């Protein structure tokens, strides 16, 4: 059994997820969104990772980045390790691909800020 | 001296949206004054996602959200000055600013939009005893140091206050390798959004201690630790509940204050609850032709609502510049029984738009309550709410057609049954 707090709306239902004969049963939700959320969280929780990478030759020294879509939660640490090693050169524009496949997820790491050359 | 139809003070999310909206409503001569060296305001350091779900129907980071509005300002060719700090404004709408390139400049506006945003409540406002070592930051300062300037800020962290910036920084510092030991919140409920509690604390196993505060700061040169204690219902520390946490960094996320130093010179009515000016349904202050929007008016939790509110201020400022629209008697909107305040605080029943959005916050966490609207003492709206929390802004939309004539009073409150 796993306990979760639903983030579908401000209500924040306390959810309990039970595994029974290979099926998931959700308790404590007050709407269908709670059930969907709980099942996703148990089967394959995903998050968008945002951070910064070093940038040289720009007006600022950090370039903000994010994963293009959400990635499995258990890949977050590996993703951060790769982000730490990156250094790019200005200019950079929103949407620029910084890493094509971060931590073997098949998801790209993209720039979220426009940094012109200094 | 130069005269402009409209001057917007602040180039953050509110100022940008207001300027674009005023231009699209027909104002040619607009000037945005921004004290930083880039447009976008606080969004530049908010590199996390979750912005724009209402406005753009997609989840953006802060810099991406800002870039969309900056692009609109540039498409509309709206002039702006960077590094321009406004030092005073007058009732006559005379604006004085200083900048490195221009020195001291005075410009005259026909209409003004106040979009100066807010700032964080500092340590000095908290009365925490102890020495003053390095390592104590407001959460937003730490966010700037980390996300813009690239400093690590700290390794072992305690966070006081569960405001959204503090929660976001708990995750951010954890991802960057710091150990966030605990988040302490004075109140019995969190001040932040639910999804931030789940995604920033629960995801990383960071404990949230409600009804706790910092009672002592340890360390001389650099912070070495803090003592937390539980507080009673009057928010007084309970003796014997003290716990020591070794840490080199304390982040404060204990509230935001609208930045209204400039506004005070206008001598307009200020709200003691929001710390912003009181406005009518056009978002106009007591000083005719001066409008306000965004966090300088009242602190928002979603930037999408800031943009929406600012667009309304821009549109109304444009109407003021272009046609000097008729104004009539206003009726106060009273907030009580669990509703702390409303924005706007009053409306002009004769000239109001067909629908007016009234935003507000509640005083405590409530379950299974109704939000009710009374008009001339008669209840005209009753909206069931499963849960209401001070950290989440609420709104009701008043329709001109449903308001009684002649309108004497409007009251917004919560009711149990």
Q: What is the CATH number of the domain that holds A54?
A: 3.10.530
Per-residue pLDDT tens over the stretch B11-59: 999 999 999 999 999 999 999 999 999 999 999 999 999 899 888 988 8
Domain identity same for A73 and A89: yes
Per-residue pLDDT tens over the stretch B358-398: 999 999 999 999 999 999 999 999 999 988 988 889 999 99
Domain identity same for A105 and A56: yes
In a domain? residue A20:
yes
For A78, the domain range is 50-111
Supply the pLDDT for residue A22: 83
Q: Report the distance separating Cα B93 and Cα B110, nearest Å.
A: 7
Mark yes or no for CB contact B61/A112 under 8 Å. Answer: yes
The closest alpha carbon to A69, from A15, A38, A104, A105, belongs to: A105
Q: Report the distance separating Cα B97 and Cα B34, nearest Å.
A: 10
Domain identity same for A10 and A33: yes
Domain identity same for A32 and A54: no
Among the residues of B76-163, which ranges form H helices?
139-147
Domain identity same for A29 and A77: no
Supply the pLDDT for residue B405: 84
Domain identity same for A65 and A93: yes
Chain A residues lying within 8 Å of B61, measured CB to CB:
50, 64, 66, 112
Domain identity same for A104 and A56: yes
In a domain? residue A118:
no
In a domain? residue A6:
yes
Contact B331, B347 (CB under 8 A): yes
Predicted structure pTM score: 0.94
* Shortest CA distance from B45: residue in chain A: A64
The closest alpha carbon to B279, from B352, B178, B223, B205, belongs to: B352
Give SS3 for B305. Answer: helix
Q: Report the distance separating Cα B81 and Cα B239, nearest Å.
A: 54
The mean pLDDT value of chain B amounts to 95
In a domain? residue A117:
no
Domain identity same for A76 and A23: no
Q: Which of B59, B64, B387 has the CB atom closest to A11's CB atom? A: B387
Domain identity same for A59 and A97: yes
In a domain? residue A89:
yes
Phi, psi of B79 (to 5 degrees): -70, 145
In a domain? residue A116:
no
Domain identity same for A38 and A60: no
pLDDT grade for B261, boundaries at 50, 70 and 90: very high
Supply the pLDDT for residue B305: 95
Per-residue pLDDT tens over the stretch B106-146: 999 999 999 999 999 988 888 888 889 999 999 999 999 99
Q: How many domains does chain A have?
A: 2
Domain identity same for A98 and A55: yes
ipTM of the complex: 0.90
Q: Is A39 on the interface with B (CB under 8 A)?
A: no
pLDDT of A10 > 70? The answer is no
Q: Which of B147, B175, B197 has the CB atom closest to A64's CB atom? A: B147
In a domain? residue A97:
yes
Domain identity same for A61 and A106: yes
């Amino acid at each position: 059994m796993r306990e979760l707090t639903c983030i579908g709306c401000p209500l924040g239902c306390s959810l309990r997820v039970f595994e029974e004969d290979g099926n998931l049963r959700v308790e404590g939700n007050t709407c269908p969104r709670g059930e969907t959320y709980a099942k996703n969280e148990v089967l394959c929780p995903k998050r968008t990772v945002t951070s910064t990478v070093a940038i040289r030759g720009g007006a600022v020294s950090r370039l903000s980045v994010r994963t293009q879509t959400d990635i499995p939660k258990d890949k977050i640490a590996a993703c951060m390790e790769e982000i730490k090693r990156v250094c790019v050169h200005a200019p950079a524009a929103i949407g620029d691909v910084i890493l094509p496949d971060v931590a073997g997820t098949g998801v790209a790491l993209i720039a979220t800020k426009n940094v012109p050359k200094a | 001296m130069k005269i402009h139809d409209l001057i917007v003070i602040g180039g953050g999310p509110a100022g940008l949206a207001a300027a674009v909206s005023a231009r699209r409503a027909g104002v040619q001569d607009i000037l945005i004054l921004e004290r930083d060296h880039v447009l976008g305001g606080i969004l530049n350091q908010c590199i996390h996602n979750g912005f724009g779900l209402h406005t753009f129907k997609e989840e953006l980071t802060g810099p991406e959200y800002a870039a969309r509005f900056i692009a609109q300002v540039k498409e509309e060719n709206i002039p702006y000055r960077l590094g321009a700090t406004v030092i005073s404004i007058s009732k006559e709408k005379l604006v004085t600013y200083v900048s490195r390139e221009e020195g001291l400049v005075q410009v005259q506006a026909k209409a003004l939009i106040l979009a100066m945003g807010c700032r964080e409540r500092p340590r000095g406002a908290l009365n925490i005893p102890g020495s003053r070592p390095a390592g104590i930051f407001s959460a937003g300062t730490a966010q700037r140091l980390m996300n813009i300037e690239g400093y690590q800020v700290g390794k072992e962290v305690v966070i006081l206050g569960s405001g959204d910036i503090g929660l976001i920084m708990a995750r951010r510092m954890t991802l960057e390798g710091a150990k966030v030991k605990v988040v302490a919140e004075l109140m019995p409920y969190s001040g932040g959004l639910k999804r931030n509690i789940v995604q920033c604390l629960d995801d990383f196993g960071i404990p949230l201690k409600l009804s706790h505060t910092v009672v002592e700061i340890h360390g001389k040169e650099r912070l070495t630790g803090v003592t937390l204690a539980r507080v009673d219902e009057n928010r007084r520390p309970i003796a014997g509940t003290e716990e020591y946490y070794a840490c080199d960094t304390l982040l404060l996320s204990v509230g935001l204050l609208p930045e209204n130093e400039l506004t005070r010179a206008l001598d307009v009515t200020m709200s003691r609850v929001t710390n912003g000016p009181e406005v009518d349904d056009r978002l106009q202050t007591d000083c005719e032709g001066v409008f306000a929007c965004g966090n300088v008016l009242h602190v928002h939790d979603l930037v999408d609502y800031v943009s929406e509110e600012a667009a309304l201020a821009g549109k109304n400022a444009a109407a003021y510049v272009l046609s000097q629209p008729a104004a009539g008697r206003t009726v106060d909107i009273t907030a009580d029984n669990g509703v702390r305040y409303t924005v706007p605080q009053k409306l002009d029943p004769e000239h109001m738009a067909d629908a007016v959005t009234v935003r507000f916050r509640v005083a405590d966490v409530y379950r299974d309550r109704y939000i009710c609207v009374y008009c001339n003492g008669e209840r005209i709206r009753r909206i069931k709410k499963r849960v209401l929390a001070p950290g989440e802004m609420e709104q009701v939309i008043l329709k001109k057609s449903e308001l009684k004539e002649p309108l004497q009073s409007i009251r917004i409150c919560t009711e149990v049954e």
